[in-house]
Amino acid sequence: MNDPRPYGAYAPSGLASLAIAGTRRLPHRWATRRIALMLRHLVLRSLKGAPVDVETFGVRMRLHPYNNVCEKRILFTPQYFDPAELAFLASRIREGFTFVDVGSNVGWYALFVAARAGSKARILAVEPQPEVFDRLAYNIRQNPFGTVKAVACAVADKTGELTLFLDPNNRGESSVKIVSSSQTDAIRVPAVTLLDLLAREGFTHVDAMKLDVEGAEDLILDPFFRDAPASLYPSLFIIEDGRDRWQIDLPALLASKGYRPVLQTRMNLVFERGAPPAA
């Protein structure tokens, strides 16, 4: 479980602090990314398994940058972390914004939105892995936003219990589908359909949703669009690009429901439904 010591107990110091500050200032180029990787390797060796307490873009987090690529990226190079996706998402935030983060990991997207959406926002951060969920809940508590709720479950094609496959070398690689690592672990976790989740949490509309579930996005959205009223269709989707793993043509399904592709990056696809909100 997460170390209970108060935030700040693991603030970086000395060479680690200088190196982290340096990697965070590097521009997004191939050569500087190589420099960042070298500095990251040196810092991780010096930390000897300890977590790190840092503030990033107005968000306070305790990060464990050892078996989770997401936490490594937030700690050392947050400027490289989905910059186009986050900028587009930020451009859609308005008063009373509702955001659902499925596969929240340690909460970066959810807390990024919370830092910008104000006190009337409503944000749901959904994460099934007990160890990672504990980190997510801790990070939510360190921030004053008061608009983020963490939910410990998987989202899948049916409500009940299912097997979640884990990559022990990268906790961000959990999926209800078998992950690519040859060292896969498996645990049983509670699961809920997306429609049941939104109903249980009392959502009547969703402004934006992020789905990052390692190739199981189709399993979530196929039954959702079959059963959910159009009033619950999110206005904006950020979806990890799993076209090589999806069993249906998910972009075509989204198009049939009125979504248009607005952004494609190396990692994600972004779809929007209807006209963008007025500025």
pLDDT in tens, 14-46: 999 999 999 999 998 888 989 999 999 999 999
- Alpha carbon distance 217, 135 (integer Å): 23
Phi (first) and psi of residue 23, to 5 degrees:
-65, -30
Q: State the pLDDT confidence band at 214, using cuts at 50, 70 and 90.
A: confident
- Predicted pLDDT of residue 176: 77
- Alpha carbon distance 253, 48 (integer Å): 47
Report the predicted TM-score, pTM, of the whole model to 2 decimal places: 0.94
Tens of pLDDT along 226-277? 999 999 999 999 999 999 999 999 999 999 999 999 999 999 999 999 866 5
Phi (first) and psi of residue 59, to 5 degrees:
-120, 130
Ordered domains of the chain (ranges, CATH): 14-78 (no CATH), 83-273 (3.40.50.150)
Task: Identify the helix (H) or strand (E) that includes residue 211.
Answer: strand 208-211
